[in-house]
């Protein structure tokens, strides 16, 4: 079995989902984030795909380091308690948005 992966679609989909998640978290937390910083934060997860590393290392980088940097850069958070709350909310929002998108896929193909 062979798969065709279109990198432009993969990057655009990843970037837009991360942007929407950061935008949802921004609505909850009063922070000084702009659309440019949200876009810069959402590009970080696309950058990790360029580094050749084992799968387990990539998962550790994605789940801890990249999402932490995405939260700090995208939302411009400076204090640790607010960062921790935003980081937890980032995971909750991505879980919720992933469920909504899976549900919508049933109806829109």
Q: For every one of its 109 residues, what pLDDT tens digit does the chain have, with 9 covering 90 and above?
A: 787 877 778 788 888 888 888 888 888 887 888 888 888 877 777 777 777 778 888 788 778 888 888 888 888 888 899 899 999 998 898 898 888 888 888 888 6
In angstroms, the Cα distances linking 53 to 6, 65, 97 are: 21, 15, 28
Q: What is the widest separation between alpha-carbon atoms in the chain?
A: 49
Q: What's the pTM value of the predicted model, to 2 decimals?
A: 0.80
Query: Long-range CB contacts (< 8 A, 24+ apart) of 63-72?
Result: 67/91, 69/41, 69/44, 70/18, 70/22, 70/41, 70/42, 70/44, 70/45, 71/22, 71/25, 71/41
Cα angle: 95, vertex 99, 102; to 5 degrees: 140
């Amino acid at each position: 079995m062979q798969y065709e992966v279109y990198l432009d679609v993969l990057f655009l989909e990843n970037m837009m989902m991360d942007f929407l998640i950061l935008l949802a978290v921004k609505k909850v937390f009063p922070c000084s984030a702009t659309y440019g910083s949200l876009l810069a934060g959402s590009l970080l997860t696309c950058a990790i795909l360029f580094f050749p590393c084992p799968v387990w290392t990539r998962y550790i980088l994605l789940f801890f380091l990249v999402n932490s940097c995405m939260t700090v850069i995208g939302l411009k958070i400076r204090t640790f308690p607010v960062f921790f709350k935003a980081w937890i909310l980032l995971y909750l929002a991505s879980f919720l948005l992933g469920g909504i998108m899976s549900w919508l896929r049933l109806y829109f193909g």
